[in-house]
Structure 1
């Protein structure tokens, strides 16, 4: 029999995804811990329906957002069980991966965590190239042995002791429900990325960072990683990756050369502002 598992779902304004995500682990997870950072849509009302169905199995915690690593560490600290599976609201566990996890952990696993691959869907279509299938992060982990690093975006996992294994079955990831959603998310990610570079003392070399980097990013995704074989979605992804690279370094230049007051004022125009209050609900 496998040890109990807490599924942690960080979210904000995920009313279109949260129910399907929770349904995919309902009845399998020993605890579902939804960590919200200021939803203003119907997300919390949807989560509340699951909490009323089983208050012991489903809990909600809420806190302001600082960075992805910090937020996930905080959420994981509230888990009741040592084994924690981190699942984004736009991701789904399939029957196959649940069975694989059950079998793997039932054998008294010697590992501190497991890498998991993804089957990604973009605008409803499966993406098999573009480099997206190369990413295999640690998502299933012992919270006593693992933590996220402090990066504000694209956080990694630090393993204090033990080895890391790998699962074969994928998590389904329904990323970007529309191009509007995609550009909003890209705007937030590039802001966090620019702030992270600024904190690390990086500076912009205009010719290299605003011209050469984006061009090479497009060529890498579209040609080297095979985005050309994913049709129009592959072209859109490749162009956006190039623009995202440009935008991150352009924002870094803005942080370093434009009035900080102006930059801070512009932040108010960003979607999904972080909440001001911190509270926890059980």
Structure 2
């Protein structure tokens, strides 16, 4: 790498009805050389708010699943270095500085994990399985692509070395019980379709015991009980998503018989 040549960064965001979050996020990422929002035909004010930012490129693309939407966004980026963000995430000043210095370092990795701090409404969730949450968000797209076999909880295929950043993303995922439950339901449905695509058959035992195992593992082994009522809520809703996965798998499979 030529140390005199500043590496440019594209920030990519996929949205659907994010009118309450998108403005603050777009104001916060003015350090990027390119900002692209790929919207799934929002019915609220997401598009109107985004259009107010002259430095943002807005595209609309039909949502099939998270992987296809992310790969579509990747294909629109002009720069090799990309940072994927969700509308419910926030960068600290230290993280921004670390991102810029990392991509301009002498021998950067191909992809970087970023740890996340999970916010339950406006307070940090300390346990419940989220204390070690990390995800690939910063990477060189010339060496990376999302696995097309995954519809949700996307898997990045990395051709090269990986590393992790020190600073965390603040993740405002839980704003209300209703919204988070709807999100978990949506994830469950996508996972069911993913399993159908792989040829997996319904299982009553898995529908009963996998959600139970998930709840107990996150609540006891991952110390969710230390988060009190918040821990019970999160552990239950995550287990609920697992239940929906098998419920929908059974429903869809039965309807095809």
Output the TM-score relative to the length of structure 2: 0.94
Cross-structure match for 1:14: 18
Instruction: Provide the rounded CA distance (Å) in 1 between the counterparts of 2:164 and 2:74.
Output: 21
Q: Deviations over 1:170-224 (max 9, x none)?
A: 0111003211111221221111111111111111221x21221121111101000
Contact 1:90/1:175 (CA < 8 Å) preserved in 2?
A: yes
Residue number in structure 1 paired with 2:245 = 248
Aligned to 1:171: 169
Q: CA deviation at 1:103?
A: 2.1
Deviation at 1:66, TM superposition (A): 0.9
Contact kept, 8 Å, 1:114 with 1:164, in 2: the verdict is yes
The residue number in structure 1 matching 2:207 is 210
1:46 aligns with 2:49: yes
Moved more, 101-110 or 246-255: 101-110
Aligned length in residues: 252
Q: What is the match of residue 111 of structure 1?
A: 109
**Match of 1:256, SS?**
helix
Ranked by relative contact order (alpha carbons within 8 Å, sequence separation 6 or more), the top structure is 1
Residue 67 of structure 1 contacts residue 153 of structure 1 at CA under 8 Å; is this kept in 2? yes
Out of 145, 148, 153, the position equivalent to 2:146 is 148
State the match for 1:23 in structure 2.
Answer: 27
| 8 Å contact kept, 1:120–1:172 | yes
For 1:220-259, list aligned pairs within 5 A. Answer: 220-258=217-255
Q: Provide Cα deviations, 1:220-245, integer angstroms capped at 9, x if missing partner.
A: 01000011111111110111122221
Divergent runs of 4+, >4 A: none
Match of 1:78 in 2: 76
Q: 1:187 aligns with which of 185, 188, 201?
A: 185
**Secondary structure of the structure 2 residue equivalent to 1:50:** coil
Q: How far did residue 259 of structure 1 move?
A: 5.2
Q: Is the 8 A contact 1:24 1:94 kept in 2?
A: no
- Deviation of 1:109 after TM superposition, in Å, equals 3.2
Instruction: For structure 1, list consecutive stretches of 5 or more residues without a partner in the other structure.
Output: 52-56, 261-282
Q: Distance in 1 between matches of 2:99 and 2:256?
A: 51
1:124 aligns with 2:122: yes
TM-score (norm 1): 0.86
1:157 and 2:161 matched: no
CA distance in 2, matches of 1:65, 1:9: 13
Deviation per residue, 1:25-58 (Å, 9 max, x gap) = 12x111111110110100011101112xxxxx31
